[in-house]
Structure 1
Amino acid sequence: MSTETFEFQVEARQLLQLMIHSVYSNKDVFLRELVSNASDALDKLRLAKLRDDTLDADVSDLHIELEADREARTLTVRDNGIGMSYDEVGELIGTIANSGTAQFLKELKEAQDAAGAEGLIGQFGVGFYSGFMVADEVTLVTRKAGEKQGTRWSSRGEGTYTLERVDDAPQGTSVVLHLKPADPDNQLHDYTSVWKIKEIV
């Protein structure tokens, strides 16, 4: 399958830079945001199946998995929920115009403290980007329920992202974070640690 490279919109680039050079004292928020997104995906699939019982999707064992690989320094958040189509990935993640990013950036500048800033992440639906607080690269693989082909999205947060169609994607979405080195002085914990993951989730 061919891989296409796209540029983030200006607002998206601003947001990525904000996350990469994060001033947030509590970077743990990223994992709560990704788990919350995965939970929403499960709920959306349940609802879709109720509305259309001909939908070719298994809803008998909906769940979220967290998988840490200490050697590879990756953390994966995986769900078997509704998933996204190729076009939806481009729209929802590539442009983020739909998630109120401009308003988010405006309110973030006005937030007087780190706690107030952290509260804004979930409010504006930009939780996915919080992964760049702790990761040098983020890879997302997704397949929309009822569709045969999946999509892989990847970015190092440097202004561009790649999209490609894949044939072997399971239903749902997995987000793989290629973690930065742990740096306790900057509140960057070892997110391959099982106890740290349990503490957050």
Structure 2
Amino acid sequence: MGTSVETMEFQTETRQLLRLVIHSMYSNKDIFLRELISNASDALDKLRLESLSDSSLEVDASDLHIALAVDKDARTLTVRDNGIGMSRDDIVELIGTIAKSGTASLLEKAKEAEDAVAAQSLIGQFGVGFYSAFMVADKVTLRTRRADSDSGTQWESDGEGTYAIQTVDALPV
């Protein structure tokens, strides 16, 4: 299945943000599902827009959807969409290095927030809702393939400071 696994470290700001999100930002742990569905919805919107503006992108945007699958025995929840997807470089830049989305500003504003509701409202503004999955999961696995690519990428982490990334084949369209 794909190439060798590369282990990389989160940036310092990312590790600080993960601790903040996991341990204090959310008062309701169920919010992780809303955040993941919101991200999936954004991926659908991005594919729709790119398919309209880039004629070289050969995709079928007529059946865009989000699916949830629960495996009680394995104790997993899968959120799957058929949106734009991400390349390996996108993942490293956006998931492993969230300083680009204003991490330092988020950390400062979250420290200043007087209550959990105020802190929660910051999440959407800074695009870090993905990390809320670590509140309920021992391990998070992201498998994605950019719409204009044949190979995909798997990203996996326990949220403790490192993540593993590798190229994978045979991801669904």
Q: TM-score, normalised by structure 2?
A: 0.95
What is the deviation of 1:141?
A: 0.2
Report the equivalent of 1:147.
149
For the aligned residue pairs, the C-alpha RMSD in angstroms reads: 1.1
What is the CA-CA distance between 1:127 and the residue it aligns to?
0.6
Partner of 2:89: 87
Shift of 1:56: 2.1
Counterpart of 1:111, as a letter, is A
Secondary structure in 2 aligned to 1:22? helix
Aligned-partner Cα distance in 2 for 1:61–1:22: 38
Q: Is residue 40 of structure 2 the alignment partner of residue 38 of structure 1? A: yes
**Tell me, what secondary structure is at the counterpart of 1:130?**
helix
Deviation at 1:69, TM superposition (A): 1.3
- Structure 2 portions without partners, runs of 5+: none
Count of matched residue pairs: 171
Give, as a single letter, the amino acid of the residue that structure 1 aligns with 2:87. Answer: S
Letter in 1 for 2:138: D
Segments ≥4 residues shifted beyond 6 Å: none
1:149 deviation in Å?
A: 0.5
In the TM superposition, what is the alpha-carbon distance from 1:51 to its structure 2 partner? 0.9
Percent of residue pairs identical: 67
Which secondary structure does the structure 2 equivalent of 1:45 belong to?
helix
SS for the counterpart of 1:39 is helix
Which residue number corresponds to residue 132 of structure 1?
134
In the alignment, structure 1 residue 104 sits paired with structure 2 residue 82? no
- Compute the displacement of 1:20 (Å): 2.7
Give 3-state SS (helix, strand or coil) of 1:76's partner.
Answer: strand
